[in-house]
Amino acid sequence: MKTKSLINRKVQLAFSSAIFILLFMGAMSYRGFLVSTESDRWVRHTHEVLENLQNLLSEMRSIESSYRGFVITGNEQFLNVYHGSVLHSQEEETIIRGLTVDNPQQNRHLPALESSIAQIIQYGDMVIGVRRAKGFEGGVDAIRGGPGQTIMDEFQEVVHEMQEEERRLLVLRDVDAKRRLGQIRAVLILGIVVGLLIAVAAGWSVQRENSRRATAEEGFRVSEEKLKLLLDGVQDYAIFMLDPQGQVASWNAGAERIKGYRAKEILGQNYSCFFTQEDIERGRPEEILRVTAAIGRHEEQAIRVRKDGSQFLASVTFTALRDMDGNLRGYSEISHDLSESKEAGAKYRGLLEAAPDAIVVVNQGGEIVLLNMQAEKQFGYHRDELVGQKVTNIIPEGFAERLIADDLRSVEEALAQQIGTGIELSGRRKDGSEFPIEIMLSPLKSAEGILVTAAIRDISVRKGAEKHLAQMEGRYRGLLEAAPDAMVVVNQGGGIVLLNVQAEKQFGYRRDELVGQKVTNIIPEGFAERLIADGTRSAAEALAQQIGTGIELSGRRKDGSEFPIEIMLSPLESPEGILVTAAIRDISERKQSEEHLVKTVAELKRSNDELQQFAYVASHDLQEPLRMVASYTQLLAQRYKGRLDSDADEFIAYAVDGSNRMQGLIQDLLAYSRAGTNGKALHKISSENALQEALANLRATMEESSAVVTHDLLPAITMDETQLVQLFQNLVGNAIKYRGAEAPHVHVSAAKNGGSEWIFCVRDNGMGIDPQYFERIFVIFQRLHGREEFKGTGIGLAICKKIIERVGGRIWVESQLEKGSIFSFALPAGDEK
Amino acid sequence: MESIGTNAAAIEVLLVEDSPGDVRLTREAFKDAKVHINLHVAADGAEAMAFLGREGQHVNSPRPDLILLDLNLPKKDGRQVLEEIKESPTLKSIPVVILTTSESEADIVRSYMLHANCYISKPVDLNGFLDVVKSIDNFWLSVVKLPHKTRE
């Protein structure tokens, strides 16, 4: 289409340019014509002027000759001529004047001309007068001596000039005209040439187009003929075209033969008439066209209906036909009656043989029509031993009956019921042995009616596995029943699938009352939700979160009473999905003892706190009155020293002493109670630093007794720093206090015990301790020496013991009298490196 | 900024202490003081605040130059008194010496947090106590410059 309009446009263009050029050329020609005409006019004009000038000249000559003649002859005749010429010359002059009126050049000559003429005439008159007067001799003299010739010459000169002028003008005009004409001619020639070119081009274009179309049409016609030849030659295949709506647009001999319609009957009809009624109702014809249009082609094997209503199996191929622009122009259908096809049969046979299962094709009479190699193998027969035999030979029961079309149902119906399902039957080999098989049926339409293809699979192995599985299942069931805990198996919907006898007992239900019920009946909350595979996690994941952990929930008995339970979940895969086995334990007792424990602990804690509080407050509040007693007795002693008798002094001394001691005891008690309560959080500290601090606190004592304290490298441990200082201070202080004869030597060391404890040792060279007192010395206020011997209240070691036991360590002593002592304490290593 | 001795006026000391025994001891200890001291006594926290606020019977009481404050007092507790003194714009400039039997870390920290000027644990023995009071006398009343009495 595009090219056509292009051609049109070209032609239009050509024609309009041609017309334009013609018009132009016409204009040019007209112009030329005008120029020519003008030129002619000028020429005529010039000639006219020249002629008149010539006339004038001849008149003047005539004048001259006439008066000369008169002079010579004296004939009056000459005077007639003379006067006539004079008249004529004046006429001529007037004419010339008129002709040259627009020519300024010529106009210039006119006065000269006029004057010359006048002079000549004057002279002539004169001469004539003279002749008349003087006769011949006078006249001759007059002529001879006169300016007549000169005047004549002048006159002729002017005339010549004017003539020249006129000629020159003519030449100029001529040239000009020629030039203009030349231009016009050039333009005309150009126009002609261009016009010709356009005409030629247009003509040639059109010509080409036409020839092309002619060839195309020719070619088309030829190919159409060929096609027709081809199509009609094919008898075995129906090849025809449908328009985009499915109306039959072409037909061939093969289509006529296969489908039964003649061309003129079918053209224009919708192709759905080839389909079965069911297919038409299902909308199959339209669907096929849609699919073909979308994908480009479609193949199928399906039932088609002939004109006479008979059905046949056809192999049909549809192709969508599109033009160069991609628009759908229609469809082509090629179909083939399969019942005639040997090739289909061969393909089918090939498939059959290659199948991994045994395949047996049975007709409606229950006879074997076809079988494959696998079937031969499975049943142990040779092919020809089975073909034509009843299928009951190899499948004694269950198959043949299923196929029989009886009064109640057609073959199709019978078949339809079987299609796709795997039916378990028993197969019999040639040797008589039977084995379990599974058959899958599918229909096969053939010329002889409907055949049934049975795919037969030997399922002995599977059966064995199934049996094994059933055994396992039985065992599992046994386990379940025997379990000491209640076991409940729940599916993903939260329904109880299985339970054991313990579960019955615990919940007070009978088994059948619970199976199939929701597990929420016995475990109202906390269980079912945990299992649900919801949008956020799959069943497996949900389960994975629960596996292994004991979850405490509440169980509900049949009578409605609730009791605490602990459930442990484990997954169980089954064909129906993932099941959950829940082991349910009644933890009522455990709960009770737990509660009891918690209560007891709380009780203890409370009482402990009270005790601590009491100890602290008591010590604190006891201080005050004690201070009063001590202070005032001392004041008494000081103020009244010497003013009372010695008994009084002694009494006062005892009183003061007593109160001082009391104060000491209370201080120590306070310290002891603080050792238990004031313990701060344990930190990683340097025991070395703690020792140094303790030694700093003991400096005075050390100096007094010249004590030397050494130590090994001491570790970093997790301990309360203040208390560790206290610990070291007490132990080293004791080592110095309970010295022997020599200066005290104390050595502190530490060693790791198997990775779990640090054992510190404070070794001294003091007086040693009698082994029988190894335990007693750690008891509060227990001393081995009197007050007189050694100061102290006996609380130091008790405090040490309390401190150490608070962090889970232990303290003990090794010693020999006179040989020094080693006080050791163990502290848990904690989690330092 | 006058020093204590120059103007010959006595130093007003408020002792807030509930134990009469301790009051007497303190008085005895101050007998040897270098400077003339007027010792005023409040037996509980409420009376101490009344004295400082010049309320009721204390309307003519002088403003103390130094306060010795026990922590464990009946009625209003010594800690409360400390807090109130140090929050009052008129009273907060008076140095407060905590003089108490408590040695607990918690009390020490708390007292300093409440801006006590210093914390002294009463020694249990007589001589120790007397020495402490003498130290207070030496330090707070001799060495230290107390704030000039502001016009009231």
The pLDDT of residue A536 is above 70: no
Closest by CA to A542, choosing from A578, A566, A574, is A578
User: Which pLDDT belongs to residue A542?
Assistant: 58
Phi, psi of A551 (to 5 degrees): -105, 130
DSSP β-ladder status, A297-305 and A311-322: antiparallel
Amino acid letter, residue A640: Y
- Select the CATH number that applies to the domain covering A679-828 from these four: 3.30.565.10, 3.30.70.260, 3.20.20.140, 3.90.1150.10: 3.30.565.10
Separation CA A148–CA A154 (nearest Å): 10
Least confident range of A256-260, A593-597, A639-643 = A639-643
Q: How does pLDDT run across A603-619, given as a tens digit for each residue? A: 988 888 887 777 777 76
- Nearest chain A Cα to B23, which residue? A628
Q: Is the pLDDT of residue A813 over 90?
A: yes
pLDDT for A99 beyond 50:
yes
Task: Tell me the nearest-neighbour CA distance from B21 into chain A, angstroms.
Answer: 6
- So what's the pLDDT on residue A535? 41
Q: What is the pLDDT of residue A540?
A: 59
ipTM score of complex = 0.72
**Beta strands B37-42 and B11-16, pairing class:** parallel
Cβ atoms A778, A811 nearer than 8 A: yes
Asked whether the beta carbons of residue A635 and residue B124 sit closer than 8 angstroms, the reply is no
Name the region of A715 (left: φ>0; alpha: ψ -120 to 50; beta: rest): beta
Q: Which CATH number fits domain A2-200: 1.10.760.10, 1.20.120.1730, 3.40.720.10, 1.10.600.10?
A: 1.20.120.1730
Which are the contacts of A337, defined by CB distance < 8 A and separation ≥ 6?
A258, A312, A313, A314
Reduce the secondary structure of A247-273 to three states and give it as a string: EECCCCHHHHHHHCCCHHHHCCCEHHH
Joined tokens for residue B138: 């030496």
pLDDT of residue B6 exceeding 50, the answer is: no
pLDDT tens digits along A2-59: 566 776 787 788 778 878 888 888 888 888 788 888 878 877 888 888 888 888 888 8
Q: Are the CB atoms for B24 and B129 separated by under 8 Å? A: no
- Find the residue in B nearest to A616 (Cα): B104
What is the rounded CA–CA span in Å between residue B141 and residue B133? 11
Question: Is A369 within 8 Å of A451 (Cβ atoms)?
Answer: yes
Provide the chain A residues 140-199 that lie in CB contact (below 8 A) with chain B.
none
The verdict on A626 touching B (C-beta cutoff 8 Å) is yes
Chain B residue numbers with beta carbons less than 8 Å from the beta carbon of A627 are 21-22, 101, 122, 124, 129
How many Cβ atoms are within 10 Å of A294's Cβ, its own excluded?
A: 9
Reading the block at residue A602, the tokens are 């709380």
User: Tens of pLDDT along A648-700?
Assistant: 888 888 888 888 888 888 878 777 777 766 556 778 888 899 999 999 999 99
Shortest CA gap B114–chain A (Å): 23
Instruction: For domain A352-458, give the fold.
Output: Beta-Lactamase (3.30.450)
Do residues B61 and B10 make contact, with C-beta atoms less than 8 angstroms apart? no
The mean pLDDT value for A67-87 works out to 82
The partner residue sitting opposite A628, judged by closest CB among B19, B102, B125, is B19
What are the two backbone dihedrals, phi and then psi, of residue A451, each rounded to the nearest 5 degrees? -105, 160
**E strand segments, A288-446:** 297-305, 311-322, 328-337, 358-362, 368-371, 422-428, 434-446
Domain A235-340: give its CATH superfamily. Answer: PAS domain (3.30.450.20)
CATH number of B11-143: 3.40.50.2300
The tokens of A658 are what?
A: 């007593």
CATH code that applies to domain A464-586: 3.30.450.20
Candidates B126, B127, B133: best to mutate against A (most CBs of A within 10 A) is B126
Contact A497, A515 (CB under 8 A): yes
Domain boundaries, chain A: 2-200, 235-340, 352-458, 464-586, 679-828
Residues in chain B with CB shorter than 8 Å from the CB of A632 are 21, 25, 126
CB contact under 8 A, B101 and A628: no
Q: Residue B18: which of B49, B2, B51, B41 has the closest Cα?
A: B41
Three-class SS state of A349: helix
Q: Rounded distance, CA A196 to CA A189, Å? A: 10
Residue A510 in contact with residue A521, Cβ under 8 Å? no
**Stated length of chain B:** 152
Q: Which of B145, B150, B3 is nearest to B89 (CA)?
A: B150
Please indicate whether the domains covering A2-200 and A352-458 agree at the CATH topology level: no
Distance (Å) from the alpha carbon of B60 to chain A's nearest alpha carbon: 32
| pLDDT digit string, tens, across residues A182-232 | 888 888 888 788 878 887 887 787 788 888 888 878 887 888 888 888 888
* Domain layout of chain B by residue ranges: 11-143
Distances in Å between the alpha carbon of A129 and those of A70, A122, A143, A155? Answer: 10, 10, 12, 22
The answer to whether the CB atoms of B129 and A632 lie below 8 A apart is no
Determine the straight-line distance between the first and last CA of chain A, rounded to whole angstroms. 94
